[in-house]
Amino acid sequence: MKALLLENIHADAVKALEAKGYEVDSRPGALAERDLIAALEGVDYLGIRSRTYVTAKVLESAPQLQAVGAFCIGTNQIDLDAATQHGVAVFNAPYSNTRSVVELAIAEIISMARRLTDRNRDMHAGVWDKSAVGSHEVRGRTLGIVGYGNIGSQLSVVAEALGMRVLFYDLVDRLALGNARRVDSLEELLSQAETVSLHVDGRPENKAMFGAEQFAQMRPRSLFLNLCRGAVVDLDALYDNLVSGHVAGAAIDVFPTEPKSKDEPFVSKLQGLSNVILTPHVGGSTQEAQVDIGRFVAGKLLDYEKLGSTAMSVNLPEVPAGPTTTARIVHLHHNVPGVLARLNQLFATHDMNIGSQTLATRGHLGYVVTDVSGEKYDGLLAELEALDETVRVRVL
């Protein structure tokens, strides 16, 4: 089995795959579409982070590819519809870097509230400006969290421990943690929060969700953070509000267009503004998070290859398959009536005894894991592949 890992995926992931007999090609940077297509020749498993785009053309050009591991939270850089169409499983790490993002958000909230960037700049310039003007504690101030998922909810807990009052807004009805309070609309949150932090996902409807209208609804001299997705914020509108002083400060970690490596220049309208903290998409980039992500996603890829388990797959029906002492056949198919009956008829024709069988469906796909025993395997795989409904079949 061959694996291609891009974008400096942690060495623990490489070790985990090599320990199971994989031939691993680990590279430091992202690859453009044409280069990725060339690199995927003969590759069974691909590992990426946020800067490599796995397009429909890439997936069409890599028929041997079994699965893609996104060693990060987001999967919007992967064409999930095309991956599903080609029977390529996609896994990510939805929890592993949560704490790292939260700690960066807290650090930036405190840095902006205490004007630490100004103090740092002045001191390096030889200016001793010992003043409390414009410097505030975060205790007692109101934090508005937009998106109360894994990161937003943990940010809520840590911020409250610092003495902040927490409001949150989410389209999903989520349980409030601690003393956090859910509000019914984004407008209500913006009218009350003194600091606004975005933690939404990359779904298309979130694109440009925060623009001139939303900035106008914020309280004067509020602070603003975006550590989720670059496309959700209109940076021109943010720039205008920072220059006018309506927004007192901003911390931005993600951008609509990001360099693929450190060799490419970074350009943004926000550069040069003293009230802005810019970081290069490092919210989840701590050693601890990268170790956890490397182990977690590599484990998911190994479970899929060895056991056929699709537990926590982003795009395929979820079947959490465990170890087996018999042969295992995994079958991904179009979800239409009668498929399971036809599948089992083939097993019966080949005198296969079914020890266990688990089926799950997701939209137009079905995924069945069958543990079988018998001796007449000749021709079985070819007949399973020949079924009109078959997308992909493997014998483990």
CA distance 380 to 173: 47
Given the residues 281, 328, 331, 333, select the one marked as catalytic: 281
Cross-strand partners of 277: 251
In the set 258, 342, 389, 394, the catalytic residue is 258
Helix H or strand E segment including 48 = strand 45-48
Active site annotation includes 115: no
* Separation CA 122–CA 48 (nearest Å): 40
Residue 329 to residue 370: CA distance in whole angstroms: 5
Compute the distance between CA of residue 142 and CA of residue 313 in angstroms, rounded to an integer.
37
Residue with the two structure tokens 């069974």:
44
Residue 334 annotated in active site: no
Closest to 93 in 3D by CA, of 48, 157, 124: 48
Q: Which two tokens stand for residue 275?
A: 């009230």
Give me the helices (H) in 274-325, please.
Answer: 287-307
| Distance from C-alpha of 270 to C-alpha of 317, rounded to nearest angstrom | 42
Amino acid present at 149 = G
- Measured between its terminal Cα atoms, the distance across the chain in Å is 13
Q: Respond yes or no: is residue 258 known to be catalytic.
A: yes
Distance (Å, whole) CA 75 – CA 71: 9
CB 218 within 8 A of CB 244: no
Residue 251: in which H helix or E strand, if any? strand 247-252
Helix (H/G/I), strand (E/B), else coil: 157: helix
Residue 84's contacts (CB-CB under 8 Å, 6 or more residues apart) are 315, 316, 365
CA dist 17 and 232 (Å) reads 35
| Catalytic-role residue among 115, 229, 331, 333 | 229
Q: Which residue has the tokens 């590992």?
A: 47
The residues pairing with 195 across neighbouring beta strands, listed in sequence order, are 143, 223
Residues 51, 168: Cα–Cα separation, whole Å: 29
The catalytic residues are 229, 258, 281
